[in-house]
């Protein structure tokens, strides 16, 4: 687990975790055939939600989505998250923000009026 945060209503925990090692990768490691090809075979940070009451875990991100930051909406109904196509430091220019509304029902771009997390600090 890389990062986690409780939902404002205290019923869920959102967290990120790195892709686990596949059976083929473990076999290659044991056989000393685990060469690294830079720029391929990425291990992504995925976004998950744990429901505390029944201990169920739902993975919210799939495919080429590397989650770098996330936060709950004030009413705990959605999560906004920043993501990139790969974990490469060179992909920071490709970062984007998406929202998972009604936890586990796909993702979409945020609307201009939406805000997640605390308000930004005022500058005097």
Q: How far apart are CA 50 and CA 69, in angstroms?
A: 17
Among 13, 104, 66, 46, residue whose Cα is nearest residue 5: 13
- Least confident range from 50-54, 64-68, 114-118: namely 114-118
Q: Write the pLDDT tens digit of every residue in 78-108.
A: 899 999 999 998 888 888 888 888 665 566 5
What proportion of the chain, given as a percentage, has pLDDT over 90? 35
pLDDT of amino acid 118 = 56
Query: Which of the residue ranges 1-15, 24-38, 90-104, 105-119 has the most confident prediction, judged by mean pLDDT?
Result: 1-15
Q: Which residues pair with 15 in a beta bridge?
A: 4, 48
Q: How far apart are CA 38 and CA 9, in angstroms?
A: 42
Q: How far apart are CA 81 and CA 109, in angstroms?
A: 10
pLDDT of amino acid 122 = 58
Phi, psi dihedrals of residue 96, rounded to the nearest 5° = -145, 165
Average pLDDT across the chain, whole number: 82
Domain ranges of the chain: 3-101
Rg (the chain; Cα; Å): 17
pLDDT of amino acid 56 = 92
Q: Taking 90 as the threshold, does the pLDDT of residue 13 lie above it?
A: yes
pLDDT of amino acid 113 = 46
3-state per-residue secondary structure call for 42-58: CCCEEEEEEECCCCEEE
């Amino acid at each position: 687990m890389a990062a986690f945060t409780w939902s404002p209503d205290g019923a869920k925990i959102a967290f990120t975790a790195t892709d686990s090692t596949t059976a083929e990768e473990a076999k290659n490691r044991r056989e000393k055939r685990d060469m690294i090809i830079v720029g391929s075979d990425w291990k992504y940070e995925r976004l998950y939600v744990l429901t505390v009451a029944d201990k169920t875990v739902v993975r919210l991100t799939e495919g080429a989505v590397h989650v770098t930051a996330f936060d709950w909406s004030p009413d705990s109904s959605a999560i906004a998250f920043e993501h990139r196509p790969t974990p490469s430091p060179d992909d920071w220019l490709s970062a984007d923000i998406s929202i998972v509304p009604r936890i586990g029902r796909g993702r979409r771009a945020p609307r201009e009026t939406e805000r997640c997390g605390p308000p930004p600090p005022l500058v005097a």
